[in-house]
Amino acid sequence: MIPYGRHSIDESDIQAVVDVLRSGYLTQGPQIDVFEKAVAEYVGAKYAVAVSSCTAGLHLAALAAGVGPGTTLVTSPITFVASANAGIYAGAKVAFADIDPTTVNMSVSSLEAVFASEKSVRAVMPVHFAGLPCKMEAIKALADRNNAVVIEDAAHALGATYEDGSRVGSCRHSAMTVFSFHPVKAIAAGEGGMVMTNDEALYRKLLRLRSHGINKGDDVFFSEDAASEDGLPNPWYYEMQELGFHYRITDIQCGLGNSQFKRLPAFLAKRRALAERYDNIFDSWDWLRPAQADQQIQSGRHLYVVRIDFKSLGKTRASVMRELRAAGIICQVHYIPVPMHPFYRDLGIRIEEFSDTISYYREALSIPLYYDLLESDQDFVISKLAALNS
């Protein structure tokens, strides 16, 4: 079967994990610090906090930004539920800004309308869908005017760049940026995520929150008398200064992440080359088109999504997916709009308010794109798609 996405593991990755297993460390070891420093240097951020998943990172970023009861977090309807759930976890209200139909990213004009109607917005979480960066300068300017914090959901966008050439994760237009190392993402660590920031106060808060809210010496202790004796620190002492979580990543995961990170340039080059082949072929098709046509030189090319006019094709999306699967091709839909899920419907959010999201969702289909996809396999995918309209 040809899947829509897949990780790539080679012998160097396997050896990296074996080396960790033989090192004497399994969880809180040196590979974590190496991984954090490597990603921070690559994207151009001052600080990095590796966590157990991107979802954990989004949750901690929301908390660090002050999202909580009585506040609102705004995100995109076209994203995995984790983006919106981060606000719910923090006890906040979640609102959505509709997408721009040309990018499938958060619409700046829709975000402006949300700010006009929602007076308690504490954070905006734009999602770099499929690896294409959002219009971050405009989003940041809007957020600043409304005293809101920007948290970039960059789960798809490791390696992507802004229009000025700086990398997503540099936090040039945000307080924090969160990456994912899930197996189908740019690099795989099994599971894992990382929060980037340039703000030292946020960095220290994130460190505490990822480990139960416990301070082990990075910050000033609240109880100085208990922390030291005769002017010397008590070596066993630590403090839980706020309610945190067990969101730590392991040395095993970071060993794999470090090995994969060395392969990132090759991963990105191959994805971009395959995506460009799709672009060139689909340019002449009138019933199928790329969901994101512009600015793809900036994209991390995590997904390749097409929009199909299923009505004119005379087939349903479900029947197309079954037909392709019978031929050995697995496709997917990214994503069911978050407001359509029963949990969010029950909160009173109406999908009908997001017309561009509805239009996109009716037509979207993610087709195979990953590092180990052979050009011959890609040609097979293209031929089977073409046969749908024969």
Domain that holds residue 129: 11-261
d(CA 106, CA 135): 8
Structural domain count of the chain: 2
The verdict on 270 and 236 lying in the same domain is: no
Within-domain flag for 2: no
CA atoms within 13 A on the CB side of 145: 10
pLDDT digits (tens, 9 = 90+) for 224-275: 889 899 889 888 899 999 999 999 999 999 999 999 999 999 999 999 999 9
pLDDT > 80? residue 215: no
Instruction: Give the closest residue to 35 by CA, choosing from 219, 177, 212, 187.
Output: 187
pLDDT digits (tens, 9 = 90+) for 13-46: 999 999 999 998 988 899 999 999 999 999 999 9
* CATH number of residue 208's parent domain: 3.40.640.10
pLDDT digits (tens, 9 = 90+) for 296-322: 789 999 999 999 999 999 999 999 999
% of the chain surpassing 70 pLDDT: 99
The verdict on 309 and 346 lying in the same domain is: yes
Instruction: Give the closest residue to 328 by CA, choosing from 38, 75, 1, 88.
Output: 1
The verdict on 94 and 239 lying in the same domain is: yes
d(CA 374, CA 355): 37
pLDDT > 80? residue 55: yes
* CATH number of residue 361's parent domain: 3.90.1150.10
Q: What is the pLDDT of residue 217?
A: 62
